[in-house]
Amino acid sequence: MTTQLPSRPFDIAIIGGGAGGVLTAIHALHLADAGIRIVLIEPTARLAQGVAYATTHAEHLLNVPARRMSAFDDKPDDFVDFLVAREGEHARDAIAVSYAQRRHYGDYLRDRLQRARETTSAHFEVLQDRVTGLDDADGVLRLELESGSAIRARGMVMAVGNNPKPLPARGASGLPRHSVLEAWDFDAIKQIPADAEICIAGSGLSMVDTVLSLVANGHRGRVHVLSRHALLPLAHTKHAVADFDAGALLAMPLRQRMHVLRKAASEADRQGLPWQAVMESARPLVQNLWRTLSHDDQRRFLRHAVRYWDVHRHRIAPQVHAQLEALQASGQLRLHRGRLQTVNREGERIRVTLMMRDRRTQELDVDRIVNATGVEMRAQLMRNPLLSDLLGKGNARPGPHGIGIDTASDGDVVNAEGEALPDVIVVGSLRIGRLWESIAVPELRGQAENAARRLLALPQVPVGATSPKGTSFWA
């Protein structure tokens, strides 16, 4: 790690060392010429360990087959090649369609970053610190750091990743710390006593990780899963694509789209295909499907349809889905449909109160609560000092519907006046308001490569010079 800050400005500063930031660094190093200076800034000591790939536990699997997880559009088998190098060429076909352990994907990204570092002619540094503020200093960005130092850069990529939502229940702050756990605190989940009765708030992918950890630990206690819809993620099937004109959806309003998708799933079933084949037909168009919805239809989707979309779009490995079904069948895993209202101590236990759909209340007494309600999508509430600084100064604004931050079509941050900042590009989850689909690897790698190319093409700006265009969009 870098210990002394250089006085020369960097050409690219990458903020965030999770998957999006590491992918950006890999592509930038492959594309950069000699003399280019790149820095990646990440507060934790280990790269490629954002929320998705921080787990070290074998039971946590990727949610798509290995063949779809390459870091490079032009080398679609690259992740498979990485796994084959460990397992042997004889296993290639099986590996390609397998759902690999998620920890191996973090290993893969670190390996490809190291290879890029060894072959690049550019200068690359990793700085263990946190960016807390950003200003324009005569055409060069000035990044304030938590350590009290500052660096300068011609351009910046924001790949700051995700933060969990707080537990949505009154009384949560008054509970003992050991009794309320975050779903992403995998090691803490492993320490839950095997006989404990557990309440998991949320029924999405984070809940799945929690249940898998409990199963791997030989958990015997009952597990209650609470959510508004009580819908679990659905399973992948063997890859198939339906003969379905997904492009026709783009001209339809939301209600008609949903009707057509249901009809297409029924038709696929009559042809002996799973409904998943229809979703595979629509998969390449997801961002356009979002962008072509009217503002009002986007709001309707967020209010009424998003959970139904998520369980069909963000599917899980078949073997993982089978585990969940077996736990339900045994009665150990129980689903409850309602809103979490309050949590309070009752002796040595926790009383959880739910508001059901018919307005009745239901109470559960449990030993632990796991917060699996997902990621915070509202930038103002992400507890990120850089985002707070940008929003507070008017150098960024919330994205549509208040989620993420606003960006132009290529990912440039849009300020409070509606003007794009071409030297600050967003990669990943913060683009959700504009793109909706912005965290899957195919989207991340494309955004990362595009950001690297665009920032490397920026004109050189001598220190102390004004912007090449003679103007500044900065507040």
Mean pLDDT of 264-285: 96
Burial 184-222 (b: 16+ CB within 10 A, else e): bebebbeebeeebbbbbbbbbbbbbbbbbbbbebebebb
Angle between the 102-119 and 78-87 helix axes, to the nearest 10 degrees? 100
> Taking 70 as the threshold, does the pLDDT of residue 467 lie above it?
no
pLDDT tens column, 424-454? 999 999 999 999 999 899 999 999 999 999 9
Contacts 24+ apart (CB under 8 A), 344-348: 344/171, 344/174, 345/174, 345/175, 345/176
pLDDT tens column, 402-416? 999 999 999 999 999
Closest CA to 283 of 314, 307, 316, 317: 314
Q: Residue 473: its pLDDT value, please?
A: 45
Give me the percent of the chain exceeding a pLDDT of 90.
85
Q: Residue 53: its pLDDT value, please?
A: 87
Chain mean pLDDT for the chain: 92
Q: Residue 54: its pLDDT value, please?
A: 86
> Taking 80 as the threshold, does the pLDDT of residue 47 lie above it?
yes
SS3 state at 370: strand
Mean pLDDT of 209-224: 96
